Structure 1
C-alpha cells in the first residue's frame, strides 16, 4: 500500500509535466479558429462555411500569410518592418504599370518586380545593419517614402485593367486531379522523410514517438490535407495563391529549422552579443533577412495586383498590421529569438478569418480596425505576460 501511494504522486507528476510541455500556443490558436468559425457561421446562417467562401478565405490568407513568413524572420532577428504594406502597394503598382502601360511580357514583369522587392528589402536592411539606424525609424521612413513614390508614379490614379496573363497569378485555380495528386505526393514525401528521420534517431539511440502516437498524428495530417483539397475542389479547385503560400511555408520552415542561416537568425534575436562573439556575421545576416522579406513582399504584391486586376495608390494600406499581428498571434516574440513560420501562417489565417467574417456581416470598417488593433494589443500583452512568468 505504501509503495502504491508513493507511485501515484510520481505518476501524477509525470502527467502534469507532459501537460506543461504541450504547445499551449497551438491549442489557443486551434480554439480561436474553432470559435471564429462557429461564431461567423451562426451569424451568417452557415454561409461562412460554404466551399466558395472557404476558397475566398484561403485566397485572402495567402497574401497576409506570405507577408507574415517574411515578417516572422525579421521579428525573430530582433527587428521590425513597418514598410511592408507600402512596399507591397508600390511593387504592385509598378507591376501593374509594366503590364498595363508598358505592355511588358508577364515573365519579365514578374522578374523585375521580384528583383525590385529584393533590392528594396536590402536597402532597408543596409540602413539597419550597417548604418545602425533603428529598424523602427528606417521602416517608418520607408512606409512614408514608398507610399509617396506609389502615388507619384501612378499620378494618384488606379492602373487598370491588368492583362489576362497577369490575372493567372491571383485568380486562377489548379485542376482538381492535379491538386489531389500533388496533395497525395506531398503526404508520401512527408511520411517518407518522417520514417527516415526516425530510423536515424534510432541509429543514434535518440527518443522517437511511439508507433501508436505516430499513426494517429499521420492519420490526422493525411485526413486534414485531403479534406482541405476536397473542399476547395468542390468549388473551383485550389487557388494558385494558396499553392504559392504552401510552397513558401515549406521553404520557410526548412530555412528556419534545417539551415545554418535559420539558426543564425534565432541566435541573433536571442542574444546578439553572444551571436557576434560566436563568429556570426550579424550585419550580413540581418541584411539578408530584410532582402528575403522584400522578395516575399514582391510575391504578395504580384498576387494582390493580379487579384484586384489593378494597381491602386491605396493598395496594401496597413497590411503591416496584419502581418505583425499574424506573427504575434502565431507565437512570435516581439523581443526576438522566438517564433515559427507555421505559427505565423496560422496567425494569418486567423486574421483573414476575422476580415472575411466581419465583411460578410457588413461590420463597419472602423469597427474592423478596432477589433484587429485590440487583438494585436492582446496578443502582445499575452506574449509579455508569458515571458515574465518564464
Structure 2
C-alpha cells in the first residue's frame, strides 16, 4: 500500500519546484517551441509596425500578408514530410513555375479553341491538368530517389534547373495572360474573398469545431485512461483559439474594397453611393481558405493515417522501419508525389493572384518553403516536424519580406535576411536537439 502512494509527495514536490509557468505549460500541454515562434512573430510584427509608422499592423497589410503567405504555406506542409524522412526538395519553386505555365497555356490558349472563351469548365480542367502534371513530376523525382538510389539533393537540384528551363520552353519565354475569371478567384482580391457574412459564419463554425475537438479528445483520453488536462486548461485553450479565429475574421472584415472598385460595383448594380462612401468588406480571402484547408488535411494525413505514421517511422530510423516491413521506397515515392501535388496547388494560387503565368514565377520559393518548414520546427535530422509549425513559419518568413518592403529595403538585402533566418533556425534546432539529448 505504501509503495502505491509513495510517488505522490514526490510528484507534488516536483510540481511545486517547476514554478507557475512550468505548471501552466504542463497543464495546457502547450508546445514551447510553438510558443517561441508565436513570440518571435509578434516581436517581428511590433518592430515593423513601429519602424513603418503604424503601417504594418493595419487590416490592409495583414490581409495582404495572409494572401501572400498562402502558396508558400501550402507547399511547406508537404516539405515537412519530405524533410522528416531526411530528404530535401530544392525544385518546388521550379515545379510551381512550370505547372503555372502549363495551366496558363491550357486555359488561355488551348481550351478556348475547343470550348470557347468563358466556358465554365475551363478553370476546372486547367486546375486538373496542373494537378496531374505536378503529381507526375513528383512521381518522377520520387522514383529516381527511391528506386534508383540517387540522393534527393541531387535529383531535386537537377529538377530545379530542368523545370525552370521547361517553364521557359513551354512559351519560349512569353508571359501568358489573362487567366480565366473563375480561376482568378483562387488568387484573392475583392472578388476572390467570401465577404463579411460568410467570414463570420466560417469563424463561428471553426470555433464550434474547436470545442467539439477538445470535448472529443477529453472523452477519448478518459476512455483509454490517459491523463486528463484540468478543466480550466481545456477552457483556456478553447477560449484562446476561438479568440484568435474571431480576431482574424474581424481583421479580414475591417479591410474594405478600394473606392474605385466600390464605385464600379455601385454603377453595375444601379446603386447610389452614400455621402460617406460605401463600406464593403473583403472578408477572408479564398487562397487563405485553401491554405487552411490544406493544412487541416495534411495534419490529418501526418497524424491520423498509416501513411503518416510510416513517414515519421522512416524519419526516426529508416533501417528499423524497413525491418518492420514498411515499404520505404514506395512511401518515399508517395511523399514526392504529394509534394508535387501541393506545388501544383501553390501554382494555382500564385498564377491566379498574378493573373498571369510568367517565367519568373516561383523563383527562390524553394528557399522560403524550406525555411518555413525548418523555422516551424521540422528537424533536418529527420523524424520531427509539425504541419502547423510549418504554416506559422511561412507566415513568419512572409512577415519579414513584407516588413522590409514597407521599409524600402532593397531585394538583395531581403535575401540576406531570409538566408540568415534559415541559418539561425537550423542552429537553434541543433541546440534544442543537443539539450534534449
- TM-score, normalization by structure 1: 0.95
Q: How is 1:16-55 mapped onto 2 (pairs within 5 angstroms)?
A: 23-55=31-63
Instruction: Give the corresponding residue for 2:312.
Output: 266
Q: Deviations over 1:28-50 (max 9, x none)?
A: 21121111111111111111111
Quote the Cα distance in structure 2 between the aligned partners of 1:125 and 1:7. Answer: 49
Quote the Cα distance in structure 1 between the aligned partners of 2:45 and 2:60. Answer: 15
Q: How is 1:325-364 mapped onto 2 (pairs within 5 angstroms)?
A: 325-364=371-410
Structure 1 residues 311 and 12 mapped into 2: Cα distance closer, same or farther (>3 Å)?
same
Q: Which has the larger Rg?
A: 2
Question: Would you say 1:72 and 2:80 are equivalent positions?
Answer: yes
Quote the Cα distance in structure 1 between the aligned partners of 2:406 and 2:216. Answer: 46
Instruction: Give the corresponding residue for 1:211.
Output: 231
- TM-score, normalization by structure 2: 0.85
Q: Deviations over 1:231-285 (max 9, x none)?
A: 1012111110000001011111111111111111000001000001111110111
2:70–2:287 CA contact under 8 A, matched in 1: yes
Structure 1 residues 278 and 145 mapped into 2: Cα distance closer, same or farther (>3 Å)?
same
Instruction: Give the corresponding residue for 1:250.
Output: 296
Deviates more, 1:188-197 or 1:358-367: 188-197
Q: How is 1:105-254 mapped onto 2 (pairs within 5 angstroms)?
A: 105-171=122-188, 172-235=192-255, 236-254=282-300
Runs of 4+ displaced beyond 6 Å: none
Deviates more, 1:254-263 or 1:135-144: 254-263
Structure 1 residues 251 and 32 mapped into 2: Cα distance closer, same or farther (>3 Å)?
same
> Offset of 1:340 from its aligned partner?
0.2
Structure 1 alignment gaps of length 5 or more: 1-5
Give aligned pairs, total.
386
Q: Select 2:335's aligned residue among 277, 286, 289.
A: 289
Q: Deviations over 1:93-146 (max 9, x none)?
A: 111111222245111101111111111111111111111100000000100000
Quote the Cα distance in structure 2 between the aligned partners of 1:237 and 1:66. Answer: 20
Instruction: Give the corresponding residue for 1:102.
Output: 110
Structure 2 alignment gaps of length 5 or more: 1-9, 113-121, 256-281
Q: What CA RMSD, in Å, does the superposition of the two structures yield over aligned residues? A: 1.8
**Structure having the larger proportion of residues in helix:** 1
Deviates more, 1:161-170 or 1:371-380: 161-170
